[in-house]
Amino acid sequence: MLEGIRVLACGARDAVRLCATLLERAGAAVERTASDSADYDVILVSSDFDDANVVARWKTSGSHMVCDITATGPQDSRAGRRWSDAQIQAMSGLMDTTGFAHGAPVRIGVPLTEISAALYAAAAIAAAVRVKRMRGIVQNIDVTLSGCAASALTTFLPAAFARRAVGRLGNRHPACAPWNAYRTRDGWILICTGTEEQWRKLKQEARVPQLDDARFASLAERVRHVDELDALVESWTTTLTTDDCTRICESIGVAAGPIVGVRDLADEPNFRMRHAQAARAMKAHGVDADTYRDVSIFETSALSDALPVAKRAVPCERGANAAPLAGVKVIEIGQYTTAPLVGKHLAALGAQVVKIEPPGGEAARAWSPGQGGTSYFFALNNTDKETIALDLKQESARAYLRTLLKDADVLVENLRPGALAKLGFTREALGAINPRLVYCSISGFGMTSAYPSRPAFDTVIQAMGGLMDLTRADGAPVKIGASGADILGGQAALFAILARLAAREENAGAFIEISMQDVAAWCALFAAGNNSARGQALACLDGHIWMEREVSDAERAQCSALPKAVAAVKLAGATPVMRVDELLQDGDFLADVLSAARDANGAFWPVLKAPYRLTKTPACVRAAPGAPQAVRLAPPAPARAPVPEDRPA
């Protein structure tokens, strides 16, 4: 996809190293040591760690695309300092959203902001390569860890917009119960119930008489009495092994999975099936600094082997100010986070994105809080899209979708594996409709999976991908507060799609497969093999500060008697742990991250800027989504009148 692109990766940040690995995976040639005679297309740097003067010369030369990954933007009041991933977690709100409700904030066990910056940088580079190949424009790219951290807060910012308190939930869900990590006879299991039917089946299997109590008769009551509910559920799970409990949940359609240790991934059935070579190496040699490189976060193949190769007429608008994806048409069939994240970034980069919603709209539209009948969460994830309502169970709606797909360039979806095929849109069928289509499927465990019938939520994937094993509060595994598996899976898909669109050759259609568990494991293995400095959150009068050094008892006592802003000044190396609602009073957040968009009715909505900046063809967030438009479909063919049976006279 990026064959022929030469990359120099010389920045000191983990994000540079990870981004280089991603570009290599997409076909680029990467060098880690500069050569005076080399003609690089892309130079990866981190100017807050590297020689800023050298970086400035590269940026102004006009002969290279320079991608500069830094902690904060150049206009940020904190610019230029060597902020670590953990410090960015603290100052961005990510740390305060991770951990148990009545405990201290918890550092996410993987360098989430570095990983996110690497993925967004790789995607932005692919977009810039496409612009250079098609229009000859060379430009620079800036990516900030702080912007990437803010982009991961879409489940928490809505409450802050509505001036509501934003707190930690641990492994629980704010609106569903039971939804938590529970001890078993030999480990932990993550169980998530999202419907009354799932709760009824789980209660029936558990056979704990107290679960029939009126306190748990409705969802609202279960959430209100969640402490008692969780204790009763755990009284059942502790009688079972993790494997037995998982099998029971899968048999009744309840999303569940074991909390897998990073070093146990080699024995995890789906990981072992999808990454046999990596699993064997881990069994033989353990996890080291390069183990993560043996795991691919996306797989590409032909859309359909049954069709002849068809040339892609690469769409493009030639104007100097045209966006990177001007002329590209995208169909999105997605909900919640993963596919919508992909769609909103493709739209920000200039693509026409048509989002297919079910009749009545995507369920997330109705989440609280919001305005005008649409949630802030939905708006944050669906900017700049055309939205239409289609009931794909109806043949007329499927026929309309086939019409949309005929001239589309990309189809991205995050339905359950096989769901689109059951509607008649197999890879072969899609290839027959449009042989040049790039089709990206995002799922929890992949299209080829050891768990073809197992439902997957973000929390389950965090558990089964090693992320929760590395993120612990007082020894107990805890999920990343943000929807880490969903977000990282969406970012991986975004990069894979953009790399395919940037390919030099006019490619035939392609199939891109994203398994969120693959992406989670890639992140966890990197973190396990590249240990970062530990630290601790210290309590203050009004919150916490984050320290990355040993703290004396006297300093701890001093900190507890001070507001966190004062403690951060008095204790060397301290960083205040910001709450999400506090970000809305932070000048840097308001200037560098937050923006406003209008919907079709003229109402203003708070939205987020893209965390990557292309200097000549920038990504732009412009419009909030409106209501899904109804489509006038052809009426069904009238039923034929029955033919009378011949009867003997």
- The number of beta carbons lying within 10 Å of the beta carbon of residue 88 is 26
φ/ψ of 328, rounded to 5, equals -90, 135
Q: Where are the alpha helices (DSSP H) in 425-572?
A: 427-433, 458-464, 467-470, 484-501, 516-529, 553-560, 564-570
Strands 188-192 and 179-183: antiparallel
Burial class (CB in 10 A: 0-12, 13-18, 19+), 257: buried
Contact indicator for 69, 10 with CB cutoff of 8 Å: no
- The three state secondary structure string of 453-491 is CCCCCHHHHHHHCCHHHHCEECCEECCCCCCHHHHHHHH
Q: How far apart are CA 556 and CA 460, in angstroms?
A: 36
Please name the amino acid found at residue 605.
Answer: W
User: Of the listed 85, 409, 469, 486, which one is catalytic?
Assistant: 486
Report long-range pairs for 413-416 (Cβ below 8 Å, ≥24 apart): 413/332, 413/333, 413/334, 413/339, 413/440, 413/441, 413/442, 414/334, 414/335, 414/336, 414/338, 414/339, 414/441, 414/442, 414/443, 415/333, 415/334, 415/443, 416/443, 416/455
Q: How far apart are CA 213 and CA 232, in angstroms?
A: 11
The tokens describing 13, both together, are 């940040």
Beta bridge partners of 613: 142
Burial class (CB in 10 A: 0-12, 13-18, 19+), 244: middle
DSSP 313-362: ------STT--TTTT-EEEEE--SSHHHHHHHHHHHTT-EEEEEE-TT--
Residue 486 falls in the annotated catalytic set: yes
Annotated catalytic residues are 486
